[in-house]
A and B are shown apart, each in its own frame.
Chain A
């Protein structure tokens, strides 16, 4: 390049330079434009088109080529780095995230500056070191974090994802358990094992960040395990934060999106914790919580406090004696508020390890005396700090290795767990108990035998030339038998296949324990989640769709249902609020109950709020029953009215919950008693693929009504039908029941010769109210395999799908909820 430069005459160079400048103007503009496009895409979380990256890459490449020809070294270097990083983005080795973008943009600014300089002085001198370094830095970080963007379909990745999410759930469950029973050391073992598994598989799949975090967690747990020390709340929060972080890392890699910004903070914090452990390996950990609390308490009482931490030599014998000496010496000078570990503990311990003793003493402005007092033989390190509220948390970190830098990690861990709730994870693979598969295998074996039986029958029939009645009869008998065993087998196979889709609800229930823990910390309430019937199995698709509405409901219960501790005390209730979450089978549906022992919902307040909002008129309000009023909370637009229960906040509209439950053909019922609590009952069909339905005939067509919505079947004499407001109504056990005709509601073909006389009525419900559906005839109850309708019919109201009847005809499945909306 230098040679090139020298051999060129000055005039040649000038000419080339001006050409170069003209060429590059266009290229710089392209770069600028595309960078702006990227910025927009990044800020709106959109995707960046490959062509844009490509265009930038080519522009940088062209500038570099032309610049190297003229010998503009700085421009070459800078564009080389840009080209480098753009190529990596192009090859999907790294993601175009904000960090990278910022570096690119800065580099581009520098590039423009260099060009300005070039125009003025015809040289591209300028300091580009900073840009080059930041390129290196950003690459060093991102290549590790997202260098291998995962192919979601990669079967190993899928397996890893499923397993790791499961492990994370388990970890959360166990850690919650530990938080309550800190003396159970075997939980630490379990936690350690889970973490180890996560670490191992993350390492294998090169999810290096997750690997790193898991490694750090493992260190903490290993330390707790080997030292037999209980982990205090600070460490537990750190572990929660860490497991959330792993989840976030795994999810973001799965979705091919950049890691959230706060990841570094959490990572730093973990690293710091780890270094504490490594430094003080085998030291006695002093419970930081206890110290912090005491400091706060003392300071609020108006004391000036000094915190002294003294580290004793590790191979010192008679450490307790030294500690006693220290205590006495200090006591002579000032008041000792706290000594940790206490003398009793110190005396019991067999000291073969380091120990750090923390004293909290009154500050009497005699630091030199104190220093003298603690500077005795065997003290390797000591540290004196003045405490005030704001530095009580962090200032200790540098000096005393065993005290973790406190509490700001709490906020970090919280923010991560919050963002977690937005990732709705859908894993399409199912873990199936191998017994279930074995059953299927056996059944399919039997099916083969059955086929042989049928061909045997056929064979016998063919041989039957002279139609002997007796023979034919015996063949018919065998045929009958075989057919019925085929029928039995078919339904067995069907149930077994359905069984493979069934998973216990335990998974999401356990997740809520964590949710409740976080919420109660957040709200400063003392709430316990009691779960029952975790082993209830239901269709995976339903389990997946339940997690969101249940989260809303539990949040609502914790936020609006459960009172704060003061209020509970006043009401004479236990301080700890309880949210019950239970699942059980009831017939062909599953019942999930979310109940709390909070203050309940006052229906009068609901009514008042509904009238204020203009949802109801006063007159109409007069006629409503308590249940009707409570059902108002399911109305859209009533969502903010969740405030009637007291604390305003993120009350999620119950209409959202209801819609979500309805979308899986379920219904929601509400029961509440002011002062003693609220309960929401969700009734959901076991599976979405097969339903139990009541088949009826209306206008010569067969319709199936999902059994969950059917209350009862009635026969009504025409004399018992009254007309109320033009609507046909019957009296049913003292209540008015309006009758509806399908042809009026969902415009089915009407029957010209309508049956007169006694009417058959199917009473259906949506959990809130009941109506009577007039039918022509009843066929009976049957299991129906739901088939979806083509999109032509997606707007048809009142129909959810179709299924095939025994004779091959198609029956439409009615959607009672939609029908009741239509009235």
Chain B
């Protein structure tokens, strides 16, 4: 990774000059000290964490289900899913509700930071840096000014979640 060229980067100039290499807008949030980003097109809303109903027999990153305006939505602990160290929820903890083809899924995150636009040259798809989480679930590292944002691959994330849930039942049966 060429650090120099990255640090000289002027995101705003790219914004106006070249739309074609725009990757999209990402909602950024924190898990511990690290920042993560999810493509905004999957995100329906960010809300306070409602009362969670526990569902038995599930892997431990599955917290259960919540009621979001009459819809029953599964809720996952993203920290646990990404194998990050555990922290209890606090006042800033939020629930990101995602929507893909009308199927809703929600994730608990520590704190919402902001949303950013990323360009192709701001994303390092195969970072040589060591990541704590499974590389297959990330699209790369987005670099915006001084911030390094781990861009999550939403589809992949859902896929591994479904897989793990499924595996759990195969093992137990």
**Which A residues lie at the B interface, using CB under 8 A?**
701-702, 746-749, 787-793, 795-799, 802, 804, 808-812
Contacts and interface: CB of A to CB of B under 8 A. Distances in A.
Contacts of A795: 57, 165-166, 169, 173
A701 B55 CA distance: 10
Interface stretch (B6-14, B62-70, B85-93, B124-132): B62-70
Nearest to B59: A792
Given A790-B74, A792-B62, A792-B74, A810 B57 contact: no
Contacts of B74: 789-790, 792-793
A802 B50 CA distance: 16
A795 B57 CA distance: 9
Contacts of B73: 790
B116 to A, nearest CB: 30
B133 interface: no
Given A789-B65, A810-B65, A796 B58 contact: yes
Nearest to A803: B72
Contacts of A796: 55-58
A748 B72 contact: no
Contacts, number: 71
B54 A749 contact: yes
A156 B30 CA distance: 56
A804 B70 contact: yes
B18 interface: no
A804 B67 contact: yes
A591 to B, nearest CB: 31
B53 interface: yes
B58 to A, nearest CB: 7
A633 to B, nearest CB: 27
A167 B133 CA distance: 64
B17 interface: no
B56 A747 contact: yes
Given A747-B56, A808-B51, A809-B53, A802 B65 contact: yes
Contacts of B56: 746-749, 796, 798-799
B20 interface: no
Contacts of A799: 55-56
Contacts of A810: 51, 53, 64-67, 72
Contacts of A792: 58, 62, 74, 161-162, 165
A115 to B, nearest CB: 53
B54 A787 contact: no
A811 B72 CA distance: 10
A282 B172 CA distance: 76
B5 interface: no
Nearest to B161: A792
Contact of B50 (A746, A789, A791, A808): A808
Contacts of A748: 54, 56
Given A789-B72, A792-B74, A802-B72, A809 B67 contact: yes
Interface in B122-167: 161-162, 165-166
Contacts of B161: 792
Contact of B53 (A747, A788, A791, A811): A811
9 tightest Cβ-Cβ pairs between the two chains A and B:
A795-B169, A810-B53, A748-B56, A747-B56, A787-B72, A809-B51, A810-B67, A802-B72, A792-B165
Contacts of B71: 787
A547 B12 CA distance: 67
Interface residues of B, number: 27
Interface string B88-116: 00000000000000011100000000000
A689 B73 CA distance: 18
Contacts of A749: 54, 56
Nearest to A801: B72
A581 B122 CA distance: 73
Contact of A793 (B50, B51, B55, B66): B55
Interface of B: 50-51, 53-58, 62, 64-67, 70-74, 103-105, 161-162, 165-166, 169, 173
Most chain A CB neighbours (cut-off 10 Å) among B50, B56, B104: B56
A700 to B, nearest CB: 9
Contacts of B54: 701, 748-749
Contacts of B104: 790
Given A792-B62, A792-B74, A810-B67, A701 B57 contact: no
A793 B57 CA distance: 9
Contacts of A787: 70-72
Nearest to A805: B67
Nearest to A700: B54
Nearest to A748: B56
Most chain B CB neighbours (cut-off 10 Å) among A748, A749, A811, A812: A812
A394 B162 CA distance: 66
A354 to B, nearest CB: 71
Given A793-B58, A799-B56, A804-B70, 14 more contacts: A701-B53, A747-B56, A787-B72, A789-B74, A790-B72, A790-B105, A793-B65, A795-B173, A796-B58, A798-B56, A799-B55, A804-B67, A810-B51, A810-B65
24 contacts: A701-B53, A701-B54, A748-B56, A749-B54, A787-B72, A788-B72, A789-B65, A789-B74, A790-B72, A790-B73, A792-B161, A795-B166, A795-B169, A795-B173, A796-B57, A796-B58, A797-B57, A798-B56, A799-B55, A802-B53, A808-B51, A809-B51, A810-B65, A811-B53
A796 B173 CA distance: 11
Contacts of A747: 56-57
B20 to A, nearest CB: 35
Most chain B CB neighbours (cut-off 10 Å) among A747, A787, A795, A804: A795
Contacts of B66: 810
A748 B57 CA distance: 7
A467 B64 CA distance: 45
Most chain B CB neighbours (cut-off 10 Å) among A748, A798, A804, A810: A810
Nearest to B170: A795
Contacts of A790: 72-74, 103-105
B169 to A, nearest CB: 4
Nearest to B104: A790
A587 B143 CA distance: 65
A347 B166 CA distance: 84
Contacts of B67: 804, 808-810
A355 B64 CA distance: 83
A821 B10 CA distance: 64
A798 B57 CA distance: 10
A812 B55 contact: yes
A790 B165 CA distance: 12
A724 B95 CA distance: 47
A789 B62 CA distance: 13
A791 B103 CA distance: 10
A812 B62 CA distance: 15
A691 to B, nearest CB: 15
Nearest to A790: B74
A793 B51 CA distance: 18
Nearest to A742: B56
A617 B74 CA distance: 45
A789 B56 CA distance: 13
A791 B73 CA distance: 11
Nearest to B166: A795
A812 B67 CA distance: 12
Nearest to B169: A795
A748 B55 CA distance: 7
Most chain A CB neighbours (cut-off 10 Å) among B55, B70, B103, B162: B55
B30 to A, nearest CB: 26
A65 B23 CA distance: 52
Nearest to A811: B53
